Structure 1
Amino acid sequence: MDMRQLRYFAQVVESGSFSKAATHLHVAQPALSQHVRHMEEELGVSLLHRGTHGVSPTEAGDRLLRHAKRILAEFAEIPDSVRGEAIAPRGEVRFGLPGTVSELLAAPLIEAARDRYPEVRIRVVEAMSGYILEWLRRGDVDLAMIYNTSSPRGLAVHHGLSEEICLFARPSFGGKDDIEGAAVRLEEAALLPLLVPGPGHGLRELIEEAAQTVRVPITPAVEIDSYSQIKKLAQRGLGYGILPRMAVQREAEAGIFRVWRIEEPKITRKVYLAYSTERPLLNAPRAVGQLAWDILRQLVRDAAWTADLSDESQNPNLFS
Structure 2
Amino acid sequence: MDLRQLRYFTQVVESGSFSKAANTLHVAQPALSQHVRHMEEELGVALLYRNAQGVTATEAGGRLLRHAKQILAEFAEIPDSVRGEAVAPRGDVRFGMPGTVSELLAAPLIEAVRERYPQVRIRVVEAMSGYILGWLRRGDVDLAMLYSTSDPSGLAVHHGLSEEIFLFAAANTSDGPAGDAASVVQAASMPLVIPGPGHGLRELVEEAALTAGVPLTPAIEIDSYSQIKKVVMRGLGFGILPLMAINREVEEGVFRKWRLQEPSITRKVYLAYSTERPLLNAPRAVGQLAWEILRQLVKDRAWIAELSDESQRPDLFR
TM-score by length of 2: 0.96
AA aligned to 2:214 is: V
Q: 1:90 & 1:125 partners in 2: Cα distance?
A: 19
Q: 2:172 & 2:186 partners in 1: Cα distance?
A: 19
- Aligned pair 1:114/2:114, yes or no? yes
Q: 2:20 & 2:179 partners in 1: Cα distance?
A: 67
- Aligned pair 1:11/2:11, yes or no? yes
Q: Which moved more, 1:234-243 or 1:186-195?
A: 234-243
Q: Does the Cα contact within 8 Å between 2:84 and 2:317 map onto a contact in 1?
A: no
Q: 2:222 & 2:54 partners in 1: Cα distance?
A: 40
Structure 2 unmatched ranges of 5 or more? none
- Name the residue aligned to 1:226: 224
Q: 1:23 & 1:249 partners in 2: Cα distance?
A: 57
Trace 1:35-184 onto structure 2 (pairs within 5 A): 35-174=35-174, 177-184=175-182
Structure 1 ranges of 4+ moved more than 4 A:
none
Residue 123 of structure 1: CA displacement? 1.3
- Name the residue aligned to 1:25: 25
Residue 28 of structure 1: CA displacement? 3.0
Deviations along 1:143-193, one digit per CA (max 9) or x if unpaired, are: 11111111111111100000111111111122xx33221110010000110
Quick one: which of 253, 257, 264 aligns to 1:259? 257
Q: 1:300 & 1:83 partners in 2: Cα distance?
A: 33
Give the direction of change, closer, same or farther, for the CA distance of 1:5–1:263 in structure 2 (3 Å limit): same
Q: 2:255 & 2:22 partners in 1: Cα distance?
A: 59
Q: 1:91 & 1:74 partners in 2: Cα distance?
A: 11
Q: 1:63 & 1:114 partners in 2: Cα distance?
A: 32
Residue 81 of structure 1: CA displacement? 1.0
Name the SS for the 1:262 alignment partner. Answer: strand
Residue 105 of structure 1: CA displacement? 0.6
Q: How many residues align?
A: 318
Name the SS for the 2:289 alignment partner. Answer: helix
AA aligned to 1:170 is: A
Q: 2:68 & 2:123 partners in 1: Cα distance?
A: 19
Name the SS for the 2:240 alignment partner. Answer: strand
Structure 1 unmatched ranges of 5 or more? none
- Name the residue aligned to 2:298: 300
Name the SS for the 1:77 alignment partner. Answer: helix
Trace 1:192-207 onto structure 2 (pairs within 5 A): 192-207=190-205
TM-score by length of 1: 0.96
AA aligned to 1:8 is: Y
Q: 2:19 & 2:99 partners in 1: Cα distance?
A: 39
Identity %, equivalent residues: 78
Residue 25 of structure 1: CA displacement? 2.3
Residue 137 of structure 1: CA displacement? 1.2
